[in-house]
Structure 1
Amino acid sequence: MNTPLKITKVGNSAGVILPKELLAHLNATVGETLSVVLTPRGIELSAADADFDAQMEAAREVMARRKRALRELAK
């Protein structure tokens, strides 16, 4: 798919309107969160992982409990 997208002003930011075909390809709907990753070729846009926030919270808890061990491993 090679569809030109127009950048529009949204308050103090800028936005791009995604066509419904692109949203369908991403398995995303209006109101959902998308993930953007910088790559050597540009950007990669994908549907956000629903479990990511829960996984990060669990990781933060483990890191807080094992702070000394992680500090030693980082040396």
Structure 2
Amino acid sequence: MELAIRSIGNSAGVVLPKEVLNRLRVDKGDKLYLTETEDGYKLTPYNDEFAKQMNIAEDIMREDRDILKALAK
């Protein structure tokens, strides 16, 4: 799919077709994240960095469950 870069005010942007928005399950006002990969760029509605941080947090919570229970009291 070819997209054209257009002027939007003093900036430049790309207009995504409605079918792309539907496949990404996003709408106007939602955030998208652009990640550079070794194959090019990936556009996704998911924040990969936040997901990595949450996975680390879940690991810590599993490992230190007893400590967290004691702190919660």
Shorter-chain TM-score: what band?
A: 0.5 to 0.7
Structure 1 letter corresponding to 2:33: S
Paired residue type of 1:43 = Y
Matched with 2:25 is 27
Letter matched to residue 20 of structure 1: K
| Identity within the alignment, % | 45
| Structure that is richer in helix per residue | 2
> Using the alignment, how far apart are the partners of 1:7 and 1:32 within structure 2?
20
How many corresponding residue pairs? 51
The 2-side partners of 1:25 and 1:48 are apart by 13
1:36 corresponding residue in structure 2: 34
If the length of structure 2 is used for normalisation, what is the TM-score? 0.58
TM-score, normalised to structure 1's length? 0.57
Q: 2:4 aligns with which of 6, 18, 23?
A: 6
Larger-gyration structure (1/2): 2
Instruction: Measure the CA separation in 1 of the matches of 2:32 and 2:13.
Output: 13
Cα distance in 2, alignment partners of residues 22 and 37 from structure 1: 17
Q: Indicate the RMSD between aligned Cα atoms, in angstroms.
A: 2.1
Structure 2 gaps of 5+ residues are 58-73
Extract unaligned runs of 5+ from structure 1. 60-75
